[in-house]
Structure 1
Amino acid sequence: MMIVLLAVLAVAVSGDHHHAFSSQHVHKHDGHHEVTHPKYHFEYKIEDHHTKDHHSQHEERDGDVVKGYYELKQPDGSIRHVHYHADKHSGFHADVKFSTHHEHHHHH
């Protein structure tokens, strides 16, 4: 049995040019009831220029192994990138990096 959930939300505020976008995808795979082997994949992304909320995540699981990635725009404009991995042998590990995103503003 495979269950697929897809939800997409897009909002445009009339009267100004602020747009918000959010989407998510979830795939769940179920095998036989005698064998338990969890397996899934999901991802989502949010970009809201009005609230300055920008983040996304991608994660997948196959049995006891979970791998994922997310990024988040910090209040100072830098981007936090996190890659993570977890399994029953080594536990949870995350690699966190920051990058700066330079925005160019033109004044007239």
Structure 2
Amino acid sequence: MQGLAIYGVAALAEIAGCFGLWSVVRLGKSAWWLVPATLSLVLFAWVLTQVQLEFAGRAYAAYGGVYIAASLAWLWVVEGVRPDRFDLIGASLCLAGAALILFAPRSI
């Protein structure tokens, strides 16, 4: 479960950092938004290294599913747009894939 919490924090940090750049480029916000955005992206990268998996590629692949679900939560909570059924179905498929990557029994 600790890995899922790490993925959640990483997703929030990555989305917040990317949204900071989005806000400057697309919404005309002050360039000062890039300071916390950059710090947030650095936090994201560091937090993701804390996942206890043997291979980085597997950690990143599983994170992708969590990122997609977190992005839709951001869409709803921050941007005020409720995800539709296709968003929810797609996120569910991605989370199922992430769970398979994380929890599949493996022989090393």
| TM-score (structure 2 length as normaliser) | 0.24
- Which structure carries more relative contact order (alpha carbon 8 Å, separation 6+)? 2
Tell me which protein shows more strand as a share of its residues: 1
Query: Between Structure 1 and Structure 2, whose CA radius of gyration is higher?
Result: 1
TM-score (normalizing by structure 1): 0.24
Q: Which has the larger helix fraction?
A: 2
